[in-house]
């Protein structure tokens, strides 16, 4: 899985950080210390960590991920990463 999206709410830039969906690589999610949850009203699960996005980005860089793009969508910050 070479692409990965991570996100956080602007008012929560110190964490938590969303790091994957229900189909994400379980080994990668373990490495990040992510936990799976299902938010009330959603029909899907997501993985999150209590770390700030900066900490998550540092961990992912060690695995060879690089930021391809970053944007704000409403009150959400989103990073797209790719690993060769």
Question: Residue 11 — pLDDT band, cuts 50, 70, 90?
Answer: confident
Q: Residues 56-67: pLDDT tens digits?
A: 999 999 999 999
Domains contained in the chain, CATH given: 3-82 (3.30.1410.10)
Across the range 36-55, mean pLDDT stands at: 86
**Residues whose CB is less than 8 angstroms from the CB of residue 16 and which lie 6 or more positions away in sequence, other chains included:** 8, 48, 49, 50, 51
Q: Residues 12-31: pLDDT tens digits?
A: 667 799 998 888 999 999 99
pTM of the model: 0.85
- CA–CA separation, 58 and 40 (whole Å): 30
């Amino acid at each position: 899985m070479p692409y990965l999206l991570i996100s956080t709410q602007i008012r929560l830039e110190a964490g938590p950080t969303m790091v994957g969906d229900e189909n994400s690589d379980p080994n990668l999610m373990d490495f990040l210390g992510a936990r799976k949850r299902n938010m009330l009203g959603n029909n899907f699960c997501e993985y999150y960590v209590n770390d700030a996005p900066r900490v998550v980005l540092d961990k992912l860089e060690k695995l060879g991920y690089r930021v391809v793009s970053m944007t704000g969508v409403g009150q959400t910050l989103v990073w797209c990463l790719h690993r060769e």
